[in-house]
Every structure is written in C-alpha cells, then in structure tokens.
C-alpha cells in the first residue's frame, strides 16, 4: 500500500503506491520492539495492554520483575508473547535491573555507605572516575567520552566473583535516577531482542527485529546538544547493564549497541499516553515501533495514529493519491500558530518542519 523512499526535505518517508480511500488502515504494528512505562506509573499501567485506570494500582503482579497487569489474561499473554518469545530473558533482566537499582538507592538514602549489590556480578568494570565532569560540547567530545569508557573496559579483565573493589562507587553508579532506570529497562529489552535475533534459527517476528530497529535514524548529537547531562545518564545505564546483564547477553552490552539504542530512541519513540487521548492525558511511557518510525510529520497530516492496547494503528484521514506522502502528526501542536508549532517540533524532534502547511504559512508571512 505504501513504500519507504527518500523525501526532498527530511530523510526517508512513506509514499502511497496506489490511491488509498479515507479510513483505510495502512499499517498496524502488534507490539513495540521495546517500551518502558515511566517509573511513577509502573504499578498503575498494565505492562501488556498499557491500560491506565486513573491512578488505581493494577491488580496482578508478575512474581519476578516489577511488572503489573490489569488481568491474569494480560499477564499470561505477556508471558507467552513477550517473555517466552525471548527465552524468558525479559523478565530476568528487568528483575536484575530493579533489584540492583532499588538496593543501591536504599543504601544511598540510608547513608549506610557500603552496599553489595549482588554476589553474582562477575565483572568489575567500573572506571573510578565515571562521574563525568561537566557537559559535552560537541560530537567530538561525545566520542572522546565513549572512547575512554570503551578503552578502560577493554583494559580491565573481567574477574569471576571479584570482591567489589570500590563499593561506594558502585552504589553511586547503580543508584540510577528515575529516567535512567526507565531508560535502562528500555535498552535492556532491545539488547535481549538483539541476542535472540543473533541465535541460529531465530524466529522472532519482524516487529521484534534488531536489524529493523537499527535502520532507524540516530539522533544522539541532537539529543545531547539539547540535554548535555544525558551523556552521563547514558554512560551510567551502559555500566549498570554491564554489571547486571546475564552472561549470554553480555557480549551485546557494548558501547556501540547501547549508544545505538539511546540514539534511536530519541525522535523515533512513540509516547504511551493515557486513553482516550486529550490534552489532559498522562504521559505514561515510551515505546518504539520501528516500522512505524518512517512516517514523517505534517502539520496537516493525512494519516492518524492511534494506540489500541499495545499495538499501533495508522489510518488515512482523507483520500490519498498515488505517490502522495503519508504523514502523521507527531504531537498535539496542530492548533498552535506557525511559530510555536515549529518551535515545539524543533525542541522535541530536532527538525525545522518542511511540511506543505508550514511552507505555505512561511511564504504567506514572507519568511
């Protein structure tokens, strides 16, 4: 129905191959490649269908990992579709992250100082001066920070059951901030998918494919230019994952792969919003649906995106001609005047909007 091809103004986009009538579902993605519910909502949002009941706690909890569900059915379906499809590694890694972070944060809060996050960590990679000094000012500085992290890791041999050499540093490292904790979960699931896809005879469905995810446009430099402090967060997430990931996934916990995820999460993730969607809806988390990330934004979109449970659906808002680009709206800014609309897009998605409506309004304003 549509194909992905280059646009004249903003990378690749989706173009109708044939005429498409209004109200046609042109794309449906059953489940995210990776997603994370924001920490504040973890107990209030179903980890399978993303239902949110005005702040009421979900009734059903998975025994391992901090995952709550609105029903036994959602829990059982999540176990089969998500966890079993990935050798039960998703629940295992989420549990390991949560135990390590929660324990380290408790230790920090209590001021007790020394913590032993887990006896089972078999790596002792943590560089001693990991708490970065200042913010990166250019792409080169970002490279330098990651190069130095990668080098130090390459130089420190993993030692099985090494006693923690610098326990306070590890506690500081593991006591992630809320958004880092969410990001660690999102990155961890992506790396589990990568590991599963790399196994011989892997039969993961295409929406779980790391290869497809990797083809998305990275936005690391844009993101760090806007929020430089996130570089330290990315490094902390990387080091945490090195410390907690199970041995079979550890080879995939590389600087390159972790950067690949955080760089693609920016500007490609879809918000998980409270439904029905209104300007008052709570922002519950983020999800990545790689095949849906090729839709560019238009301030006069011909496609409506909608979430149904954990799936995303894309439906034409009007009749579309063959060859016409299919565009969605990235956010709720369409009612705003030209200038503030363009500011929002620049601030949140890092681009100067090249859509027809903006071009026309810019020309009318003599800009």
- Binding footprint of ligand SAM on the chain (CB under 6 A): 9-13, 216-217, 267-268, 293-294, 296-298, 349-351, 353-355
Using the minimum distance from each CB to ligand SAM, give the nearer residue, 245 or 353.
353
Q: Tell the smallest beta-carbon distance from residue 222 to ligand SAM (Å).
A: 7
Rounded least distance, CB 213 to ligand SAM, Å: 12
Is the Cβ of residue 315 or residue 348 nearer to ligand SAM in the bound state? 348
What is the C-alpha to C-alpha distance for residues 58 and 110, in angstroms, rounded to an integer? 29
Give residue 285's region: left, alpha or beta (phi > 0; psi -120 to 50): left
3-state secondary structure of 358: helix
50-86 in b/e form (b: 16+ CB < 10 A) is: bbbeeeeebebebeebbbbbbeeebbebbbebbbebb
Look up residue 195 and give its two tokens. Answer: 């590991």
Our CB check for ligand SAM shows the closer of 41 and 294 to be 294
Question: In angstroms, what is the minimal distance from the CB of 351 to ligand SAM?
Answer: 4
- Is the Cβ of residue 15 or residue 349 nearer to ligand SAM in the bound state? 349
Q: Which is nearer to ligand SAM, 26 or 216 (CB)?
A: 216
The Cβ of residue 275 has, within 10 Å, a number of other Cβ atoms equal to 15
Smallest gap from Cβ 116 to ligand SAM, in A, equals 43
Quote the CA–CA distance of 109 and 107 in Å, as a whole number.
Answer: 5
DSSP code of 160? T
Q: Which residue number, 42 or 297, has a Cβ lying nearer to ligand SAM?
A: 297
For ligand SAM, the closer of residues 149 and 263 by Cβ is 263
**Closest distance between ligand SAM and the C-beta of residue 325, in Å?**
10
Using alpha carbons, select from 114, 29, 90 the residue that is nearest to residue 287. Answer: 29
Closer by beta carbon to ligand SAM, 182 or else 325: 325
Query: Which H/E stretch holds residue 263?
Result: helix 255-265
Report how far residue 280's alpha carbon sits from residue 271's, in angstroms, rounded to the nearest whole number. Answer: 14
Q: How near is the Cβ of 330 to ligand SAM at its closest, in Å? A: 7
Element (H, E) at 146: helix 139-155
DSSP lists the bridge partners of residue 303 as 316
Nearest approach in angstroms of CB 355 to ligand SAM is 4
Instruction: Select 216 or 243, whichever has its Cβ closest to ligand SAM.
Output: 216
Of 70 and 288, which CB lies nearer to ligand SAM in the complex structure? Answer: 288
Nearest CA to 269 out of 35, 11, 12, 26 is that of 35
CA atoms within 13 A on the CB side of 327: 19
Cβ atoms of residues 46 and 29 within 8 Å:
no
State the nearest-atom distance from the C-beta of 266 to ligand SAM, in Å: 8
CB of 260 to ligand SAM, least distance (A): 14
For the CB of residue 338, give the shortest distance to ligand SAM in the complex, in Å.
13
- Maximum distance among all Cα pairs of the chain, rounded to whole angstroms: 68
Q: How many CB atoms lie within 10 A of CB 164?
A: 18
Sequence-ordered list of residues with C-beta below 8 angstroms from that of 299, at least 6 positions apart, any chain? 329, 333, 334, 341, 353, 355, 357, 358
- C-alpha span between 146 and 97 (Å, rounded): 22
């Amino acid at each position: 129905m549509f194909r992905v091809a280059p646009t004249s103004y903003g990378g690749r986009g989706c173009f109708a191959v044939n005429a498409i009538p209004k109200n046609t579902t042109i794309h449906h993605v059953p489940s995210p490649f990776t997603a994370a519910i924001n920490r504040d909502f973890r107990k209030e949002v179903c980890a399978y269908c993303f239902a949110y009941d005005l702040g009421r706690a979900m009734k059903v909890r998975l025994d391992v990992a901090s995952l709550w569900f609105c029903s036994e059915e959602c829990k059982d379906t999540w176990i089969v579709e998500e966890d079993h499809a990935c050798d039960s590694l998703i629940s295992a890694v989420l549990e390991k992250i949560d135990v390590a972070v929660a324990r380290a944060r408790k230790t920090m809060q209590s001021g007790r100082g020394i913590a032993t996050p887990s006896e089972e960590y078999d790596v002792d990679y943590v560089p001693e001066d990991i708490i970065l000094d200042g913010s990166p000012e250019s792409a080169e500085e970002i490279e330098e920070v990651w190069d130095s992290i990668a080098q130090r890791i390459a130089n420190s041999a993993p030692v099985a059951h090494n006693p923690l050499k610098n326990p306070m540093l590890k506690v500081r490292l593991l006591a992630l901030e809320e958004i880092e904790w969410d990001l660690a979960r999102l990155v961890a699931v992506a790396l589990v998918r990568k590991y599963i896809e790399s196994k011989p005879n892997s039969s993961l469905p295409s929406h779980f494919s790391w290869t497809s995810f990797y083809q998305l446009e990275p936005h690391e430099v844009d993101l760090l230019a806007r929020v430089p402090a996130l570089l330290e967060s990315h490094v902390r997430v990387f080091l945490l994952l090195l410390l907690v990931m199970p041995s079979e996934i550890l080879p995939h916990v590389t600087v390159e792969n972790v950067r690949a995820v955080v760089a693609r999460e920016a500007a490609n993730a879809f918000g998980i919003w409270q439904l029905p969607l209104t300007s008052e809806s709570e922002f519950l988390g983020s999800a990545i649906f790689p095949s849906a990330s090729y839709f560019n934004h238009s301030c006069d979109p011909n496609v409506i995106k909608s979430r149904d449970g954990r799936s995303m659906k894309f439906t034409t808002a009007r009749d579309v001609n063959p060859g016409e680009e299919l565009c969605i709206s990235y956010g709720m800014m369409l009612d705003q005047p030209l200038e503030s609309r363009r500011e929002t897009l620049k601030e949140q998605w890092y681009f100067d909007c090249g859509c027809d409506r903006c071009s026309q309004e810019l020309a009318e304003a003599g800009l």
